Amino acid sequence: MDKYNISTKDQYDSIYKDSINDPEGFWSEIALRNFSWKSKWKNVLEWDFNHAKVEWFKGAKLNITENCLDRHLESNSDKTAIIFEPNNPNESSEKITYRSLFERVCQMSNVLKDKGVKKGDRVCIYLPMIPELAITVLACARIGAIHSVVFAGFSASALSTRINDCESKIVITSDGSYRGNKTIDLKGIVDDALLDAEIVDTVLVVNRINSKINLIEGRDVLLRPLLENAEKFCKAEVMDAEDPLFILYTSGSTGKPKGMVHSCGGYMVYTSYTFKNIFQYKKNNIYWCTADIGWITGHSYILYGPLANCATTVMFEGVPSYPDFGRFWDIVEKHKVNQFYTAPTAIRALAKQGTSYIAGKDISSLKVLGTVGEPINEEAWHWYDKNIGKGKCPIVDTWWQTETGGVLISSIPGIIEAKPTFATLPFIGVQPVLMDNNSNEISESDVVGRLCIKFPWPSIARTIWGDHKRYVDTYFSTFDNMYFTGDGAYKDSHGNFRITGRVDDVIIVSGHNLGTAPIEDVINEHNNVAESAIVGFPHEIKGNALYGFVTLKNSSNISENIKNEINKLISDKIGPIAKLDKIQFTEALPKTRSGKIMRRILRKIAANDFKNLGDISTLLNPEAVQAIIENHIK
């Protein structure tokens, strides 16, 4: 990536300028120089934001796995591609070379083909962070099947919704997963999910926790024996740059989850170029992103971005607190990690434990620290900088989304200076703008506005699976000819962006996007619930936590039981990550005269901020507010 490797601020400025003045020339040069294409595109870019149409490199032919695997075999076949670090530190870690990864991906590809999976079919992957997860993802890409990874912390109901939405006929799972000192019965969850997803005719099961597996005849098959007998070569399917590579679901503020569709060519180009530059990845570095591959961060920056760069990427199965809060630093020391990428919620949880878990561990290999998923507060930023980076590792606060495929705003180590709590400057080719409430672009600095992007970058999602209209409505109809991110941001006089948080009804809890309406829908299913409203409130570790205001049909039998039942329902229907921290029963919810719940007021109450409730006299039932304040949960 020579000429376009960013290594000084002047170079960033000039490359950025080139990328804006001539985006097509710029990205076609990046694409041509750094990847192997079977044939070239006709047009570099076709786009029309008003119809949510974006096409990069259309007509070009490629297979992303040839770029992530095959082309490295000639000179780097023995290089470690993936270091698998298991949940239990007493179990050996596994180093998978590029040659071995290639062969295992081919074997998995052959198994999938054998099971009838063809180009364009959707494959649901519900696996813990074990090598088979990475291998299955890549195998889908190799044969042109569209992978839909569902985070293995989601419930049966969330899983069946996702399977049905994309009509996946096959599910790859494991008997169970390890999470710290717990095991989770994933196969049982799949069995439950499939009661509501009759479309599935095949389930491939990896044995991970050695539990007794209940195989349903005609449907379930153990995967490992099939893999062992499969050929170690599989020809890569020829894909168009615009063919879908994967679907990944993300919560919306309303309705069912949105299956964001990413395409092969642009996604590969952008995740690879961002990975190399934002983490300043150098040959033979060891890179570790602690995310789960069930999220976009894992797709782009554990798998595709690093592997396209022939990097060594760590895949960790466990949690930061097991066997103790020093686990991350044990792993950094053990594998001599150079780039470490995690989420603010993890940093805060570790900071709370003090520094004794770091003491005595050699983490001097670290060169770059990254953060992603939610705004990082100043205290956590400084703790990370001082105790982990020892004041010497630049921190990249990377702002992006499932929809964007790759990082859009970030500092670059040693090149764009970090500023605590700021994501700082746009990455090459990215044109962010702030919009005011009257749909005007804000030209001044030192202001807050709604964050939009006014020009397409190669890895923008192409649609919502099966619902292009929803894609247009959600992202492209708020502002004319703009992609609207759903986030608010502040811009300083140097052009640095600080993300202030969601401006819609999405709440980010421990870095996970949660729409309020889908949770309220679940709560309202409880037979004694009349109505509910969820808001976020600031939480020391999670960033935000959920506060539910609930009115009951029969309030004479209010009890802790109902609270537990509500959280159980949420856990069953969505997953434990969406459970409420606080539940307040109330006689009524504050409403406007047209009957809309005034969440703005509830948000203030949940945050213990009773002074700035604004004018409540126009409410239908101002008296409800006083009652809620009196009984609110501190």
Nearest approach, Cβ of 422 to ligand PRX (angstroms)? 9
Kindly state whether residue 148 participates in binding ligand PRX, applying the rule CB under 6 A: no
Residue 291: CA count within 13 A, CB half-sphere:
24
Which of 193, 358, 372, 396 is close enough to bind ligand PRX by CB under 6 A?
Answer: 372
Stretch that binds ligand PRX, among 49-57, 156-164, 371-379, 591-599 (CB under 6 A): 371-379
519 contacts 484 by C-beta, under 8 angstroms: no
Nearest approach, Cβ of 435 to ligand PRX (angstroms)? 15
3 state SS of 265? helix
CB contact set of 92 (below 8 Å; sequence gap of 6+): 86
Which of 293, 499, 509, 574 is close enough to bind ligand PRX by CB under 6 A?
Answer: 499
Query: Residue 484 has which token pair?
Result: 């609207």
Nearest approach, Cβ of 173 to ligand PRX (angstroms)? 23
Nearest approach, Cβ of 499 to ligand PRX (angstroms)? 4
Nearest approach, Cβ of 374 to ligand PRX (angstroms)? 5
Kindly state whether residue 400 participates in binding ligand PRX, applying the rule CB under 6 A: yes
Which of 144, 252, 375, 394 is close enough to bind ligand PRX by CB under 6 A?
Answer: 375
Kindly state whether residue 250 participates in binding ligand PRX, applying the rule CB under 6 A: yes
The smaller minimum CB distance to ligand PRX, of residues 176 and 389, is found at 389
Task: Return the residues of window 589-628 that contact ligand PRX according to CB under 6 A.
Answer: none
The smaller minimum CB distance to ligand PRX, of residues 190 and 372, is found at 372
Instruction: Please work out, in degrees rounded to the nearest 5, the angle formed at the alpha carbon of residue 212 by the alpha carbons of 211 and 215.
Output: 125
Residue nearest to ligand PRX (CB): 402
340 contacts 368 by C-beta, under 8 angstroms: yes
Task: Return the residues of window 49-68 that contact ligand PRX according to CB under 6 A.
Answer: none
Residue 206 is inside which H or E element, if any?
strand 202-206
Residue 364 vs residues 91, 336, 394: alpha-carbon distances, Å: 25, 8, 14
Task: Return the residues of window 296-325 that contact ligand PRX according to CB under 6 A.
Answer: 296-297
CA distance 373 to 540: 16
447-486 mask for ligand PRX (x: CB under 6 A)?
Answer: --------------------------------------xx
Question: What long-range pairs does 233-236 form, CB within 8 A, spacing at least 24?
Answer: 233/103, 233/106, 234/105, 234/106, 234/107, 234/109, 234/110, 234/113, 234/139, 234/142, 234/143, 236/63, 236/65, 236/66, 236/70, 236/142, 236/143
CA distance 378 to 485: 23
Which of 6, 152, 380, 423 is close enough to bind ligand PRX by CB under 6 A?
Answer: 423
Nearest approach, Cβ of 251 to ligand PRX (angstroms)? 8
Stretch that binds ligand PRX, among 1-9, 57-65, 206-214, 395-403 (CB under 6 A): 395-403
268 contacts 81 by C-beta, under 8 angstroms: no
Residue 529 vs residues 101, 524, 532, 585, 586: alpha-carbon distances, Å: 51, 5, 8, 10, 11
Stretch that binds ligand PRX, among 163-171, 372-380, 425-433, 612-620 (CB under 6 A): 372-380
3 state SS of 570? helix
Task: Return the residues of window 501-520 that contact ligand PRX according to CB under 6 A.
Answer: 502, 508, 513
Nearest approach, Cβ of 616 to ligand PRX (angstroms)? 29
The smaller minimum CB distance to ligand PRX, of residues 133 and 296, is found at 296
Which of 66, 220, 487, 505 is close enough to bind ligand PRX by CB under 6 A?
Answer: 487
Task: Return the residues of window 115-144 that contact ligand PRX according to CB under 6 A.
Answer: none
31: amino acid identity, one letter: A
CA distance 558 to 631: 14
Residue 513 is inside which H or E element, if any?
strand 512-515
Which residues of this chain interact with ligand PRX, rule CB under 6 A? 250, 296-297, 372-375, 397-402, 423, 485-487, 499, 502, 508, 513
